[in-house]
Structure 1
Amino acid sequence: MTVNDDVFTDWINREEIAESMIPIIGRLHRERDVNVLVHSRSLVNKSVISILKTHRFARQIDGEELSVTETLPFLSALTTLDLGPSQIDIGMLAAMYKSDDRGLSVEEFTAQAVAGALGDNKLERREGRDVVLYGFGRIGRLLARLLVEKAGGGNGLRLRAIVVRNSGGDDLVKRASLLRRDSIHGQFSGSITVDEANNKIVANGNEIQVIYSNDPSEVDYTAYGIKDAILIDNTGRWRDREGLSKHLRPGIAKVVLTAPGKGDVPNIVHGVNHDTVKPDEQIISCASCTTNAIVPPLKAMADKYGVLRGHVETVHSFTNDQNLLDNFHKADRRGRSAPMNMVITETGAASAVAKALPELKAKITGSSIRVPVPDVSIAILNLQLATETDREDVLEYLRNISLTSPLKRQIDFTTAPDAVSSDFIGSRHASIVDAGALKVEGDNAILYLWYDNEFGYSCQVVRVVQHVSGVEYPTFPAPAV
C-alpha cells in the first residue's frame, strides 16, 4: 500500500466515524435538549463533511487537527449520563482530558466535567417561548432560519408568526420563496410549504402564521394562540421606547429591536452586557452589527491592556437603504449607486460603545465606507493601549479568548493568509480576528475584524432573545473566566 493509499484509508475511516456520530448527536438533541459542540461550533444537523471540517478548526489550539477518533469516546460517554438541557463541547472535553493528570477514565472525566447538567443540577425541559417577527427583510428571514433550526429539540424558541404589510398578488408565495432561496446565504436547510387558505408558511413542520398589518396597534396576537411572546422588530421603523411600546399588545411580553436603540432603550451585545438586562425590562435593543463586531474584542483588549482611546473605520457591504442606481435619497451620498461606488457614510457604532460598555472610559470615534459587496464587512479598530505590548502577545491572547473564554461565541480567529470577505459568509460569530493583518507597536494596536453583518449579527440577536426568554442553556465544560 502506498502512502497515498494510507492517507485515503484514514480519510474513509474518519468519514465512517463521523457518520456514526450523527444519530448520537441527533438523539441527544431531540430527546434531552443537549446541543453537542466542537469548540463552540454546533454539530447538530451537520453532514459528515461538516463534522470533519469542524474538527479541523482545532488546529488553531495546538497546531494539529482534532480527530473524530478523539471526540467519539466523549460523545459515547454522554449517552450513558442522565443529562439535562445543556450545551456540551466535546472538543473542549478532549483538549482538557489530554492535559488532565488524574488518571481518570474518559467516562469518569466526562461525568465530572458536565456535573452541572446532572442530578440535582439538571434543568427541567421547558416549553418553548413564542416569538413573533415584525418585518421579514434581510435580517427577518435569517432570524426565521435560525429560529426554525433551533426548534428541532422541542425547546427554546418557537417562531409563531411574522407581521408584514400585504403587498397584494402572490404575497405569501413570494415571501415563502424568499425564505426558501437566498442569493447570499443559499438554500433553506429543509422543507418549506405554503398554506394559503390559512395564511401560513410551514418550515420544517413549524407553522408560521403570516399576519398582515400596517400598524402594530391593530394586532391582537392572542387571537392566533400566541401568548407571552417576544416580538423582534427588524424594520427599524421605531427605535425609542415610545415607538417600540406600540408592539406591547395582547400576547406580547417583550420587544427586541434589531437596530441601535435611542434614548433609554438598553443596547445589548450578547457576551458583554446581556447579563445586565433586568427581568422586568420589556424593551431592549441588540445595537448594530458593527457594534456587535467591535465591542467584544474591545472589551477583551481593555481587560488585559487597558484602552485610552480608539477609532474604528468600518468597510461595510452595501445595504438595502442604498440605491442600486443614482437616484434621490434623503442622505447625501447614499443616493449614489451602491454596486458601483465606495460611499462614505456615518456609523453610530462608536457612540453605541458607551451604552454597551459603560465601564470603558476611553473615547472611541468611528466612520464608515460602504463598498460594492453584498455581505461581510471589516472593522479596523485602532487602539491606544494603557500598556505597551507586542504582536505575538496580542495574537496569543486573542487566540485564547476565541477558544476558551466567555467571549468565544462572539470572537473567532483566523490565521488563513489568503482570507477574503466571502470566506466569512455564514459565520456565527460577531467578529473574526484576522491574525495576519494585526499590527502592534508599543502602545498601539490595530485589529482587523471581519464580520458577517447579516448572519453573524442575526446569531447575536437570537442569543439575546434566548437569554431574555430564559431558554439559554449552560455550556459545559464552563469557559475559563
Structure 2
Amino acid sequence: MIPIIGKLHRERDVTVLLHSRSLVNKSVVSLLKTHRFARQIAGEELSVTETLPFLQALTTLDLGPSQIDIGMLAATYKADDRGLSVEAFTAQAVAGAIGENKIECREGRDVVLYGFGRIGRLVARLLIEKAGSGNGLRLRAIVVRGGGEADLVKRASLLRRDSIHGQFQGTITVDEATSTIIANGNTIKVIYANDPSEIDYTVHGIKDAILIDNTGKWRDREGLSQHLRPGIDKVVLTAPGKGDVPNIVHGVNHDTIKPDEQILSCASCTTNAIVPPLKAMADEYGVLRGHVETVHSFTNDQNLLDNYHKADRRGRSAPLNMVITETGAASAVAKALPDLKAPITGSSIRVPVPDVSIAILSLRLGRETTRDEVLDYLRDVSLHSPLKRQIDFTTAPDAVSMDFVGSRHSSIVDAGATKV
C-alpha cells in the first residue's frame, strides 16, 4: 500500500484518505492503526485486505488532483447490491476526478511564513510534509526579526525538535552563508526584517505568493495590507481577524471567499473547534441559543511566573493557575455562520496543560431528541458529510487531552461526554 499511496501523491497529486485521515507518508504501523481506529466510528474494524483492492483499482484510472477516501469506498461498496466489480465500482465512485472531469495539475504556489513561532513551525512542518507532488503549496521563505549569534541554527533546531509534537520526520540542514534551511530537500530562505516594508520578495524569486502571518501583530485590514508587496498575492492570518477581515472556518464558510479577496483570517482555535459541530447541529435540529465554555491550554501570551501583563489576569503564572479570561469565539460565530440567529455566549479558563483544549458546547435545540440520535448523527457527520475533515468522533471511554495531540481535525466529538 505504501508505494502505491506515495506514487499517487507524487505523480498525480492524489491524497489517499481513510475515514478522513491522510495515509500519505505514513508508516506500516500508522496504516494499521488507522484501519483499526475505524472500529470506533464505523462500529467494526477495517482490514487492509478490504481496502487494498480499491487502492489497486485507483492506479488503473486516469486520475487528476483529488482526495479519495478508501475507507468510504470500501464501506459503500459493501452496501452496494449491483454486483459490480471493485474496479467498475471504483471508476464510478471517482468519476468526478477522472477523464474529462479531472482537474489538471496546477503549478505549485509559493508560500511565505511571516513569523516562526509555535504556529509558524507547525505550518512549516505541514507544508514540508505535503510538498511531495510539487503541485501544491511550496514553502519558499520565512521572515523573522534579526536575532543574535547562531540565530539560524537555533531556529532550525526549534523546527527539528518540538516538546509537544516530537521530532521532525526527516532531515534538516542549515546553510548560514545563504541564510537557508533545507528540510527534506526543500530550500527555505530565512529573511531577516523588522517590518514588512523592508522586504522585496521578488529578489528571492518569489511570485504570487500566499503570505501566512502567524505573529498576530496585525489583525485588521490596514495592518495586514502592509504585506501586499511585490511577490505577495494574498495574506492569511492565523488568528481572528478584526473589522471587515473575513473569518474563514474551512468546511463551513470557505465557499464565501471571493476570488479577488486578498486578506483572510483563519479565525481562532476555539472558533474552529465549535463552529463545525454547531453548524451540524443547527442544520439538523435548529439551535435557539448556546453557550461555550472552553477549558484552554495556556499560551505564550501568558507569563511563566507572576509578572506585569496588560491584561487583568494573564500576568499570573500560567503553569500554576486556572486563569479566567475572555474568548472571542462566541462573537466570531456570527462571522462564520451569519444565518445562525441564535445568541451564543462564551467564556474561557486557561489551565496548566500545553496543548489540546475542551470546548463544552451547551445548546438549546429547536426540537426534542435523544442522546443516541445525536451521537448517531454526529458519527455520520464525521464520516460522510462535507465536514468530515473538520469533525472527528471518538467513543474511547478513557480518552484524555494528550490523546489528541497532533490530531488533524479541528474538532473531536467525545461521545462518552455527550449529554442530552
Aligned to 1:214: 194
1:123-149 Cα distance to aligned partner (Å, 9 max, x none): 111111000000000000000000011
Q: CA deviation at 1:61?
A: 4.4
Alignment of 1:333-348 (within 5 A): 333-348=313-328
Matched, 1:146 2:111: no
SS in 2 for 1:103: coil
Q: CA deviation at 1:60?
A: 3.3
Out of 221, 225, 236, the residue aligned to residue 241 of structure 1 is 221
Q: CA deviation at 1:220?
A: 0.6
Matched, 1:356 2:320: no
Cα separation, 2, equivalents of 1:389 and 1:85: 41
Cα separation, 2, equivalents of 1:424 and 1:92: 23
Alignment of 1:4-403 (within 5 A): 21-403=1-383
CA contact (8 A) 2:17 2:23 kept: yes
Q: CA deviation at 1:196?
A: 0.6
Q: CA deviation at 1:378?
A: 0.5
Q: CA deviation at 1:34?
A: 1.1
Q: CA deviation at 1:154?
A: 1.4
Aligned to 2:415: 435
Cα separation, 2, equivalents of 1:247 and 1:75: 43
SS in 2 for 1:360: coil
Q: CA deviation at 1:62?
A: 4.0
Cα separation, 1, equivalents of 2:19 and 2:379: 12
Cα separation, 2, equivalents of 1:323 and 1:62: 43
SS in 2 for 1:316: strand
Cα separation, 2, equivalents of 1:78 and 1:278: 33
Out of 386, 409, 418, the residue aligned to residue 398 of structure 2 is 418
Cα separation, 2, equivalents of 1:368 and 1:222: 43
SS in 2 for 1:311: strand
Cα separation, 1, equivalents of 2:54 and 2:159: 37
The structure whose RCO (Cα within 8 Å, separation 6+) is larger is 1
Q: CA deviation at 1:83?
A: 1.2
Cα separation, 1, equivalents of 2:298 and 2:138: 31
1:15-44 Cα distance to aligned partner (Å, 9 max, x none): xxxxxx111111111111111111111111
SS in 2 for 1:426: coil
CA contact (8 A) 2:41 2:393 kept: no
1:403-437 Cα distance to aligned partner (Å, 9 max, x none): 11000110101100000000000000011000001
| Structure 2 alignment gaps of length 5 or more | none
Q: CA deviation at 1:85?
A: 1.2
* TM-score for the superposition, normalised by structure 1: 0.87
1:83-132 Cα distance to aligned partner (Å, 9 max, x none): 11111111111000000011100010011111111110111111110000
Cα separation, 1, equivalents of 2:42 and 2:156: 45
CA contact (8 A) 2:140 2:188 kept: yes
Percent of aligned pairs with the same amino acid: 86
- How large is the RMSD of aligned CA atoms in angstroms? 0.7
CA contact (8 A) 2:64 2:102 kept: yes
Q: CA deviation at 1:365?
A: 0.5
Cα separation, 1, equivalents of 2:83 and 2:363: 45
1:338-383 Cα distance to aligned partner (Å, 9 max, x none): 0011000000000000000000000000000000000000000011
Cα separation, 1, equivalents of 2:42 and 2:319: 42
SS in 2 for 1:341: coil
Q: CA deviation at 1:388?
A: 1.0
CA contact (8 A) 2:210 2:233 kept: yes
SS in 2 for 1:179: helix
SS in 2 for 1:310: strand
Please tell me the residue identity of whatever aligns with 1:277: I
| Structure 1 alignment gaps of length 5 or more | 1-20, 441-481
Please tell me the residue identity of whatever aligns with 1:296: P
Q: CA deviation at 1:57?
A: 2.1
Aligned residues: 420
SS in 1 for 2:368: strand
Cα separation, 2, equivalents of 1:87 and 1:311: 35
Distance 1:282 1:250, change over 3 A: same
Cα separation, 2, equivalents of 1:242 and 1:41: 38
Range with greater deviation from structure 2 (23-32 or 365-374): 23-32
* TM-score for the superposition, normalised by structure 2: 0.99
